[in-house]
Amino acid sequence: MSEAAVTARNLRSTPVNIAPPPATSRPVVQISSTQARKKILFVTSELTGLVKTGGLADVSAALPSALLDRHDVRVLMPAYASIIDSGLPIRIVGNLGGLAGIPPCAIGRLDMDDGLIVYLLLCPELYQRPGNPYSDEHGRDWPDNPVRFARLGLAAAEIAAGTACIRWAPDLVHAHDWQAGLAPAYMHWRGLSTPSVFTIHNLAYQGTMDMGYRRALGIPVEACHHDRMEFYGKLSMLKAGIAYANHVTTVSPTYAQEITTAEFGCGLEGFLGWKAGQGLLSGILNGIDESWDPQTDTHLQHNFSANDWSGKAANKALARQRFGLPEHDGPLFAVVSRLAQQKGLDLTMAIADTLVQAGAQLAILGCGEPHIEDDVRALALLHPEQISVHIGFNEPDARLLFAGSDFLLMPSRYEPCGLSQMYAQRFGSLPVARRTGGLADSIEDGLTGFLFDQADPAHYRLAIERALATYRHPDLLEAMRRRAMSAGFFWRQATDPYDSLYQRLLGERQEAVAQP
């Protein structure tokens, strides 16, 4: 075992704020204390309803809401300009001190419609800017991102320590992705016994920075070690989360296994394999929230169900209209995606001729890397009757495409979980996807979608041909749609594993505190 793990164990056994139960009644006390409603702090950089660049925002909003009936879950995130400008009622409820180059700030509280409490870091010098949470209007990362997100991690540790003056301190902190990776680290460096969970939503984004940031962020020298947050001569916020959290999860069982291999591990496979060997890494498949119901979704002009397909057909006509594609009796394929290398858009461009020759149509909605945006635009110009692209993103169009398309393309090179294939299935659109990560865990090949193994055009084309063949057999298409629409992806099924993990970590802490 490394020195880091030994240190973490020692710190967890330090009695802080918890009186050990009497020896005779210990098992009873343990059960009642760990099964009661607990206070959980989610630390994240995005939240659907406030700010979103991808699936992290959906999970950050839906998972806490799904856990609310069991626990007092609250969310901590930065107050970006768009949130402040939205005019939502934010009350100032606390203050945080600074550390080294990290500025002090205030904490605001916002109560969401579903009862979720969100703590917002009010630090205009770090967050009051145009652009998205990570980059300016031209897509350039903010150069001070290390400070911006160290502020987030430090705030979580201060709230956990009870020094934020908000009259609420969590029993457990759940941090998400590199942006929150320093939360478990600052908690550890402050000697807190509050357990922490770190969830990797995407290993490829690591939040690395030069060693020069160490002093500015108040990072102790001993953290600059390959067993902790040092990564090829730099400091990695993602690795800090992995190193210092009591448990690491990722968003599907298959991805949890994949990231311990060189192909998917992004250089961290050894470290993650070691964690997995200790039982400190697990995969929990994401869910989707209950608003994804084609019968009731208010974003849709035409609601529908597996007992009445007329609404599905009307959505298809509307989607064609919306994307400027002519009426046609062939299949409609869709892409709803960030335009990033991960998502395999180059593979879709390589097989586009198969779709065109088969008389299919393709509607693409997304934005991201400028060169991919240019490539898909150029593709659409070549086939204006059959391929249409809208660069950008908005929720109603995304839902219209899930509802109106026959098939959704997700040839991802890797996919930690993927939510779009779940949304598509709920709305009767069958995914054609690579058998990787959460796609492998949430699509039944030949039953609810079409999977292929290798990330190359030849294998992808075979899966597309299977989809095209299915479209020619309406009974089979309908049977697959029915099965896909009834797949149980809801959070209410996915919350149990998180709850069990929280209970176990809280129980371990209780036990450690009770040890003499």
User: What residue ranges bind ligand ADP (CB under 6 A)?
Assistant: 52-56, 58, 336-338, 366-368, 393, 398, 417-420
Closer CB to ligand GLC, residue 292 or residue 471? Answer: 292
DSSP string, 270-304: HHHHHHHHTT-EEE----B-TT--TTT-TT-SS--
- The item of ligand ADP, ligand GLC, none sharing an interface with residue 50, based on CB under 5 to 8 Å by kind, is none
Pairwise CA distance, residues 200 & 311, whole Å: 38
Query: Minimal distance in Å, beta carbon 193 to ligand ADP?
Result: 33
* Contacts for 208-214: CB closer than 8 Å, 24+ residues apart: 208/234, 208/235, 208/236, 208/237, 208/238, 209/145, 209/146, 209/234, 209/235, 209/236, 209/237, 210/234, 210/235, 211/235, 213/146, 213/147
- When asked if residue 419 is in the footprint of ligand GLC (CB under 6 A), the reply is yes
- The item of ligand GLC, ligand ADP, none sharing an interface with residue 398, based on CB under 5 to 8 Å by kind, is ligand ADP
**Taking CB positions, which residue lies at the least distance from ligand ADP?**
55
Side-by-side strand order, sheet with 361-368: 387-391, 361-368, 332-339, 407-410, 430-434, 450-452
Closer CB to ligand ADP, residue 213 or residue 255? Answer: 255
Query: Minimal distance in Å, beta carbon 167 to ligand ADP?
Result: 34
Query: Minimal distance in Å, beta carbon 133 to ligand GLC?
Result: 13
Pairing of strands 117-122, 72-78: parallel
Query: Minimal distance in Å, beta carbon 53 to ligand GLC?
Result: 8
- When asked if residue 433 is in the footprint of ligand GLC (CB under 6 A), the reply is no
307 and 383 in contact (C-beta within 8 Å)? Answer: no
Query: Minimal distance in Å, beta carbon 452 to ligand GLC?
Result: 18
Q: Which residue's entry shows tokens 């069982």?
A: 253
- Report the site for ligand GLC in 107-166 (rule: CB under 6 A): none
Closer CB to ligand GLC, residue 202 or residue 429? Answer: 202
- The item of ligand GLC, ligand ADP, none sharing an interface with residue 345, based on CB under 5 to 8 Å by kind, is none
Phi and psi at residue 373, to the nearest 5°: -55, -45
Within 10 angstroms of residue 325's Cβ, the number of other Cβ atoms is: 18
- When asked if residue 174 is in the footprint of ligand GLC (CB under 6 A), the reply is no
Contacts with ligand GLC, 31-60, as mask; x by CB under 6 A:
-----------------------xxx--x-
- The item of ligand ADP, ligand GLC, none sharing an interface with residue 251, based on CB under 5 to 8 Å by kind, is ligand GLC
Pairwise CA distance, residues 465 & 84, whole Å: 49
Query: Minimal distance in Å, beta carbon 377 to ligand ADP?
Result: 15
Which of 248, 247, 218 is closest to 235 using CA atoms? 218
Query: Minimal distance in Å, beta carbon 56 to ligand ADP?
Result: 6
Contacts with ligand GLC, 246-265, as mask; x by CB under 6 A:
-----x--------------
Stretch that binds ligand GLC, among 86-94, 150-158, 238-246, 410-418 (CB under 6 A): 410-418
Q: What is the CA radius of gyration of the chain?
A: 24
DSSP 341: G
Query: Minimal distance in Å, beta carbon 53 to ligand ADP?
Result: 5
Query: Minimal distance in Å, beta carbon 402 to ligand ADP?
Result: 8
- The item of ligand ADP, ligand GLC, none sharing an interface with residue 362, based on CB under 5 to 8 Å by kind, is none
Pairwise CA distance, residues 265 & 100, whole Å: 33
Closer CB to ligand GLC, residue 139 or residue 326? Answer: 139
DSSP string, 220-251: -GGGSSTTTTEETTEEEHHHHHHHHSSEEEES
Exactly one of 417, 424, 485, 505 binds ligand GLC (CB under 6 A); that residue is: 417
- Report the site for ligand GLC in 194-233 (rule: CB under 6 A): 201-202
* Contacts for 110-116: CB closer than 8 Å, 24+ residues apart: 110/83, 112/49, 114/65, 114/68, 115/65, 115/68, 116/61, 116/64, 116/65, 116/68, 116/73, 116/74, 116/75
Within 10 angstroms of residue 81's Cβ, the number of other Cβ atoms is: 14
Phi and psi at residue 490, to the nearest 5°: -70, 150
Which residues lie near ligand GLC (CB under 6 A)?
54-56, 59, 201-202, 251, 286, 415-419, 438
